[in-house]
Amino acid sequence: MRPVVPVSGRDPKTRLSPVLSPAERREFTEAMLADVVAALGSAGYSPEVVSTGPVECDAPVTVDDRGLDALVNDLLSAGPLAVVMADLPLLTAEAVDRLFAPDADVVLAPGLGGGTNAVVCRHPDFRVDYHGASIRDHRRIARTVGASLAEVDSRVLATDVDEPADLAEVLLHGDGAAADWLVDAGFELSFDDDGRVGVARE
């Protein structure tokens, strides 16, 4: 099994633009990537990072500016593949073990909001179609190609950081590079009048 972590290296996490500058979005992306690479490494895997631009991390990096679907589908055509997104800063070795445990042709880890945060594929005909409610598309594609399917119900695999509100999850539950980066950058939990948790910056 070949574990690959795709990452936007050039202009990542544009949905965090309301709270992070372009340079900060790149730094925070590298911090989340470090957490993902560390979790995969702790579980005994040696991930390859495929980035649209130069990134610093403790894994071999290939720069490839193709879009996500073209990139991943090309890699899938070469054989079994695991795709773990780079924006999962709560990822743990235990969750990685759970991702690789099912003996199914296709294993999906749904993300909050309908995305697909990780895929393990052992079927020659399965292909990805990211964005939108991709988890539904990936279930459908697995059915269409006759692949057996398993899904992993895991909070840390489901927690991808897309929008400013997601940063609260990192402050609440993270203890890695991304959580440290946010604290160093002055982020802290905030509570609105209804007691809802969010983030604020000093």
Ligand X SMILES: Nc1nc2c(ncn2[C@@H]2O[C@H](COP(=O)(O)OP(=O)(O)OP(=O)(O)O)[C@@H](O)[C@H]2O)c(=O)[nH]1
- Token reading at 122: 């052992």
Residues in contact with ligand X, total (CB under 6 A)? 17
Confirm or reject binding of residue 31 to ligand X (CB under 6 A): no
Binding at 111: pick from ligand X, ligand PEQ, none (beta carbon under 5-8 Å per type): ligand PEQ
Residue number with CB closer to ligand PEQ (15 or 122): 15
Confirm or reject binding of residue 51 to ligand PEQ (CB under 6 A): no
CB 126 within 8 A of CB 72: no
| Residues numbered 140-199 forming contacts with ligand X, rule: CB under 6 A | 162
Residue number with CB closer to ligand PEQ (38 or 108): 108
Binding at 169: pick from ligand PEQ, ligand X, none (beta carbon under 5-8 Å per type): none
A 10 A CB-CB count for 161 gives 25
Residue number with CB closer to ligand X (56 or 146): 56
Site map 134..173 versus ligand PEQ, x via CB under 6 A: x-------------------------x-x-----------
- Token reading at 171: 């402050």
CB 120 within 8 A of CB 40: no
Find the shortest distance in angstroms from Cβ 113 to ligand PEQ: 6
Residues paired with residue 84 on neighbouring β-strands, in sequence order: 118
- Token reading at 195: 């007691």
CB 27 within 8 A of CB 181: yes
Find the shortest distance in angstroms from Cβ 162 to ligand X: 5
| Spatial separation of the C-alpha atoms in residues 56 and 34, rounded to whole Å | 9
| Spatial separation of the C-alpha atoms in residues 103 and 38, rounded to whole Å | 24
CB 116 within 8 A of CB 78: no
Residues paired with residue 183 on neighbouring β-strands, in sequence order: none
Site map 114..133 versus ligand PEQ, x via CB under 6 A: -xx-------------xx--
Task: Classify residue 140 as exposed, middle or buried by CB count within 10 Å of its CB (0-12, 13-18, 19+).
Answer: exposed
Interacting residues toward ligand PEQ by CB under 6 A: 68, 111, 113, 115-116, 130-131, 134, 160, 162
Interacting residues toward ligand X by CB under 6 A: 6-8, 12-15, 50-52, 67-68, 71, 85-87, 162
